[in-house]
Amino acid sequence: MRILTGNFMGTDTSVSIDEQDTPEVGPYEILVQVKACSLDLHNEKAYHQLLTASLKSCPLGHEVSGDVVKVGKKVEAYKEGMAVVGIVPFDSKATGCADYCLLNQFDVIEKPSSVSYETAAASVGAGLAAYTAVNYLGHVTAGDTVLVVDGASPQGYLTVQAAQAWGAKVLSTYRTLSERQFLESLKPPVAQLIELTQRTNILASAVMEETGGIGVDCVIDKGVRMFTSEEDKDLMGERNLRNIPHKHDIISCLGFAGKWITAQTNLQLDPPDSQQLLLRGASLCFLFPPAWTLMRAQHGRYQHILRDLMDRLNSGDFKCNDVLKVPLDKAPDLVLQKDLDSTKSIVIVP
């Protein structure tokens, strides 16, 4: 069978198609014929750098949907022919961007018939991150004010909707005119849209103006800049990241007992940063959705999240970003293009 692999050695990323034998099914596993698999190369690289020993020939794609073609001897909940959606753990040798994928029966749920394979695959990973940030880390409740950085991205869009569903007032940043127009179409509307580009960086002042100088209860980002000196920027590759907020701006947006939820894997806090968090009584949380499938302690809650997400997509309460379908054969060239629409979810279709 065909599988999609990535090489993250050095500064350049390459993607290729390899051949692999169809895996054997264990007693608690199911073999799924993949119909769609979501792919985010930025997250794939960051997670593989954390979790794998080698960055060569890394299996790509972990959020999958498809049809069950074979079940293990001790699998009772799923039968051949059922449509399922789930997430492949990062400690698994299986890959989602392939013709077939091997999954544990507890890592998937049944897909609602009215939700397409592409929508299910595109939303399951982003939705898990959104629920984790809003409910389990941020403990957002009605009346809170939440700032979602990069709200037009697939993960950000579902995070905005989840925060609104929990009764919060939501602020969001955007980088391009198309992202602003995309967020303006959301119902109910976002309370304020803040431009975050190379031309302007008014994040902290705009948040304080919107909140009357109080600050927000929760900030959810996908990464931050950490350095101010030109030498450090060049050393850490932050020279061209002006559309990503600086950690000082994020901290300045927090109100009393605010929560900063970040996906920055190598975050460094200097003593002044810690002091500012202390003076606000604020807390810092790290958003790492793969932890749900790497540690089995909360697997019941994990499945509850996936079911609730699919139910809301099925009922129309949540909406997924538009999907950019990429055939598996053309994926090595198309997924590396620099001008891809940031508001669309990339989904590989075998």
Q: What are 34-71's pLDDT values in tens digits?
A: 999 999 988 888 888 888 777 888 889 999 999 999 99
Question: What confidence tier does 101 reach under pLDDT thresholds 50, 70, 90?
Answer: very high
Digit-coded pLDDT (tens) for 143-198: 999 999 999 999 999 999 999 999 999 999 998 899 999 999 998 999 999 998 75
Domain range annotation of the chain: 2-123+290-349, 142-286
| Length of the chain measured in residues | 350
**Average confidence score pLDDT of the chain:** 90
Digit-coded pLDDT (tens) for 246-300: 899 999 999 999 999 999 988 999 999 999 999 999 999 999 999 999 887 888 8
pLDDT at residue 239 above 90?
no
Find residue 19's DSSP bridge partners: 2
Q: Work out the percent of the chain whose per-residue pLDDT is above 90.
A: 68
> For residue 235, what pLDDT is reported?
57
Give the sign of the dihedral formed by CA 84, CA 85, CA 90, CA 94.
positive
Neighbours of 178 (CB within 10 A): 13
Q: What value, to the nearest 5°, has the Cα angle with vertex 202 and ends 196 and 205?
A: 140
Alpha-carbon dihedral 277, 279, 280, 281, rounded to 10 degrees: 80
CATH placement of domain 142-286 = 3.40.50.720
Sheet holding 2-7, edge to edge: 14-19, 2-7, 58-59
The reply to whether 2-123+290-349 and 142-286 are identical in fold is no
pLDDT at residue 240 above 70?
no
Q: DSSP secondary-structure letter at 137?
A: I
Instruction: Name the residue among 186, 208, 193, 136 with its Cα closest to residue 166.
Output: 136
Residue appearing with tokens 């031309």:
199
> For residue 184, what pLDDT is reported?
93
Q: Work out the percent of the chain whose per-residue pLDDT is above 70.
A: 95
User: Yes or no: is domain 2-123+290-349 CATH 3.90.180.10?
Assistant: yes
Instruction: Name the residue among 187, 196, 190 with its Cα closest to residue 210.
Output: 190
Helix (H, G, I), strand (E, B) or coil at 52: coil
Instruction: Name the residue among 3, 260, 277, 314 with its Cα closest to residue 133.
Output: 260
Q: Is the pTM of this model over 0.75?
A: yes
